Amino acid sequence: MQLLNTRTAAIKKLTLCRDSPNNYLSMKNFTLLAALYFLFSVQATAQNDLIRRASCSDESIMKQADSVKKEFSKMGFVVVKEASMQMESEYEMAILVPLTEGSLYHFIFIGDASSKLYEVRMYDSDEKQVIYQKKRWGDVDGNVINFPFIPKLSEFYAIRPVQVNKSKKNLCGYVMLMKKVK
């Protein structure tokens, strides 16, 4: 009996809402909520289409990375960021890093030893290219690109390494950002 009374009261409230002068506001609120729900559900679906950065493991690249870290630590640098990343041949991988004005940084990219071409570009927040480095297979330390950088402004910079390999599509790459502290 109590359940029936509760149900009847709810129906009466709905009827009053429909017939009230505030019906326009109720419909407006409903429309707004429906639009927000749709917007967030579309955004959540779109996020599933993003390319996710996956790590990888290559013993020779890891040995090179350890050697580079050891040499730079002797010169007073510390690792700010580092990551192994799975890459696809001929496609750039974007890395965003916040850099502090006036500090000395070194960016190191180590690519798959069998790749034929390695490139790294760095862009500032205005998308102006500030660094470009290119190496080919057969160059001395051909699969390692290393460059110093002192930012003129404290802002985010985009670093975009790419490697080209004619025999492999999926490649491993390793990036390190080091900062001078001593």
- CATH of region 59-180: 2.60.120.380
Up-side HSE of residue 174: CA atoms within 13 Å toward CB? 20
Question: Where residue 49 falls among pLDDT bands split at 50, 70, 90?
Answer: very low
Question: Where residue 35 falls among pLDDT bands split at 50, 70, 90?
Answer: low
Phi, psi of 162 (to 5 degrees): -150, 150
Whether 167 shows a pLDDT value over 70: the answer reads yes
Residues 6+ apart with CB under 8 A from 36: none
Between 18 and 102, the more confident residue is: 102
Give exposure, 100-137, as e/b (b: 16+ Cβ within 10 Å): eeeeebbbbbbbbeebebbbbbbbbeeeeeebeeebeb
The pLDDT tens digits for 142-152 are 799 999 999 99
| Structural domain spans, the chain | 2-47, 59-180
CB atoms within 10 A of CB 30: 10
The pLDDT tens digits for 79-95 are 999 999 999 999 999 99
Query: What pLDDT does 137 receive?
Result: 80
